[in-house]
Structures are given as structure tokens and as C-alpha cells.
């Protein structure tokens, strides 16, 4: 396929490179001066989108997505697909999909899970929203950039799945870190704590696959001084999106609300910026019940 790829940062760059390596004709654009193996760079998003069978975007937020959509949709050919892999608010995803449909285009919102390592290794998971026809056009590209793609429903469903998943992730990471900090104060050895919880009813991905305690369980960012695999500020972004969605849908999400407030405090008022989201554990270690 001829592919336009807009947003070639830590995630988009490796994704575009994998598409080019697979033999696709990839033209890219980014606001920064970047060079990606196998990707021809364009002078604008509209230039990258012109004549493309599929335009893929990987952008920071919904406002930027809307602005890029305004630029690239008029440049795209009827029947082409706009595939947004950013994590943005559901309302922006649906608005851009509607705008694309009015222009005779297919649209897919397909946020990803798997982080920078998954982007480089082609092992991302895509959560896709859009029509069956749109998903079918994008699916061969998902197979190159990732290991799994789930068609979650109509436009916005991909973003909804990502936001709900990451609200669970944020809440469970906080609970896991709280439990380790409590175990420490109760004199319980961390390895014994892991041995019990990881095979008991407290089992979770944050405990078993991404343990926040250094030296316990599989290797994780905790074993690398909490350098980010998934940064705390990105978790805060996703939790804020969950609360924006909850407000829009009139959904009661008290744990999501509390998790958002805790990560907000951690990132904006403490030392969480630039650390992995599992660095909540040393945060709780240093705090007493009254602080």
C-alpha cells in the first residue's frame, strides 16, 4: 500500500519503519526534524496524505488530531482510510470519524497498548473502532505493526476500550503499590508477599507481569531505577481521559477519580514526572498514614 504516516515520535517512528520494512511505500511527516529508515519525508501532513491508500496518525491529544484531520482529509482520495492510533478522547475520535465519512473516507480509531518496546518490536495490541470495511482495510497493517488487533465496535469504541483498560491499570497499580508498602510496615518479606499474591486472589497484571518492587517477579522498570516503560505522566493523561469520558457518559467511577487525583499529585506536585507509573511504590514507602 501507499501509506501516509503523521506523527513520527517514540511510537510512530518505529511503527512507520516496520511498515516500510514490510515493503509498503511510506511517506511521513512530523513537526520535528526526524529521519526514519525506509520512510520518505514530506513537507506537510497534506503532502504525506496525498494519494495514500491509508493515512495513519499517532498524535499527542484530541485537539491536535482534529487540527491534523482538518489538514489531511481534504487531501485524501475517496475510499482511502484514516487510521488514528493516538490515545485521545472518545468525542474527538467520533468527530474525526464523522468528518472522514462526510468526505467519502473510511475511518478507524485504533489506540495501542505495548509501549515503545512494542512499537519497535511490532508486538503492539490495537483496539479498533469503525466499520467492518474500515477495519478490514487497516487490519493487514495492524498485523505488521502488532501481534493482535481487536475490532471493538463502531467509531470511538477503540478509544473507549483503551480508556477503560488503562483506568483499570492505574487503579490496580496504586493498589499493588499500597499493598507492598503496607507489607513492608507489617514486616512481611516482599518475595513472600509476591509468592502468595501472585498465585492467590490478589493476582493481577501489575503484580505478576509488571511488579513495582525491585528484585521481585519478572524484570520490570522497578529493576531499572523506575525509568519509564510507561511514564507516570502518560498514565495521568489516560486517567484524565477516563474521567472526561465518565463525565460525558454520566458514569460513576470513584476509584478512577481517586487514581486520577493521586497520579496528578505524583506528577505535578511531587517527583513523579519522568518516572515509570510503578514508581508509586517508593512514593508510598516514604509516606505515613497522616501525610
Task: Report pLDDT digits (tens) over 76-135.
Answer: 999 999 999 999 999 999 999 999 999 999 999 999 998 888 999 999 999 999 999 999
CB atoms within 10 A of CB 155: 23
pLDDT value, residue 208: 97
Domains 2-154 and 160-286 share a fold: no
Q: Where are the domains of the chain?
A: 2-154, 160-286
CATH topology of domain 2-154: Rossmann fold (3.40.50)
Residue (of 108, 239, 112) closest to 173 by Cα position? 239
Q: Across the 291 residues of the chain, what is the mean pLDDT of every consecutive 10-residue run?
A: 96 97 98 95 97 97 97 97 96 96 97 91 97 97 97 96 96 98 97 98 96 97 95 96 95 98 98 97 92 62
CB atoms within 10 A of CB 154: 15
**CATH node for 160-286:** 1.10.1040.10
Q: Of 78, 162, 192, 237, which is the active-site residue?
A: 162
- How far does the chain reach from its first CA to its final CA, in angstroms? 56
227 in catalytic set: no
Considering the entire predicted model, what is its pTM? 0.90
Residue (of 52, 56, 41) closest to 76 by Cα position? 52
pLDDT value, residue 115: 85
* 28 Cβ neighbours under 8 A, 6+ residues apart: 4, 5, 6, 8, 16, 34, 36, 39, 40, 41, 42, 48
pLDDT value, residue 291: 62
* 149 Cβ neighbours under 8 A, 6+ residues apart: 110, 125, 126, 128, 135, 138, 139, 142, 143
Decide: helix, strand or coil at residue 93: helix
Amino acid at each position: 500500500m501507499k501509506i501516509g504516516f503523521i506523527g513520527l515520535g517514540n511510537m510512530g517512528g518505529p511503527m512507520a519503519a516496520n511498515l516500510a520494512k514490510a515493503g509498503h511505500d511510506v511517506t511521513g511527516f512530523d513537526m520535528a526534524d526526524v529521519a526514519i529508515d525506509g520512510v520518505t519525508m514530506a513537507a506537510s501532513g497534506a503532502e504525506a496524505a496525498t494519494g495514500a491508500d491509508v493515512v495513519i496518525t499517532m498524535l499527542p491529544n484530541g485537539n491536535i488530531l482534529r487540527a491534523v484531520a482538518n489538514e489531511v482529509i481534504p487531501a485524501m482520495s475517496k475510499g482511502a482510510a484514516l487510521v488514528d492510533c493516538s490515545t485521545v478522547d472518545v468525542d474527538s475520535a467520533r468527530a474525526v470519524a464523522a468528518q472522514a465519512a462526510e468526505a467519502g473516507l473510511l475511518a478507524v480509531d485504533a489506540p495501542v497498548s505495548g509501549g515503545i518496546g512494542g512499537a519497535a518490536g511490532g508486538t503492539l495490541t490495537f483496539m479498533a473502532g469503525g466499520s467492518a470495511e474500515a477495519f478490514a482495510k487497516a487490519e493487514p497493517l495492524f498485523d505488521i505493526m502488532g501481534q493482535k488487533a481487536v475490532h471493538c465496535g463502531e467509531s470511538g469504541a477503540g478509544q473507549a476500550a483503551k480508556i477503560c483498560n488503562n483506568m483499570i491499570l492505574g487503579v490496580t497499580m496504586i493498589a499493588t503499590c499500597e499493598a507492598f508498602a503496607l507489607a513492608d510496615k507489617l514486616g512481611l518479606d516482599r518475595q513472600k508477599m509476591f509468592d502468595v499474591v501472585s498465585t492467590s486472589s490478589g493476582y493481577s497484571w501489575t503484580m505478576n507481569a509488571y511488579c513495582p518492587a525491585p528484585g521481585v517477579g519478572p524484570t520490570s522498570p522497578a529493576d531499572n531505577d523506575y525509568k519509564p516503560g510507561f511514564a507516570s505522566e502518560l498514565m495521568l493523561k489516560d486517567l484524565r481521559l477516563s474521567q472526561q469520558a465518565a463525565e460525558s457518559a454520566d458514569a460513576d467511577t470513584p476509584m478512577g477519580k481517586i487514581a486520577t487525583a493521586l497520579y496528578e499529585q505524583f506528577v505535578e506536585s511531587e517527583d513523579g514526572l519522568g518516572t515509570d507509573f510503578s514508581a508509586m511504590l517508593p512514593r508510598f514507602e516514604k509516606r505515613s498514614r497522616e501525610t
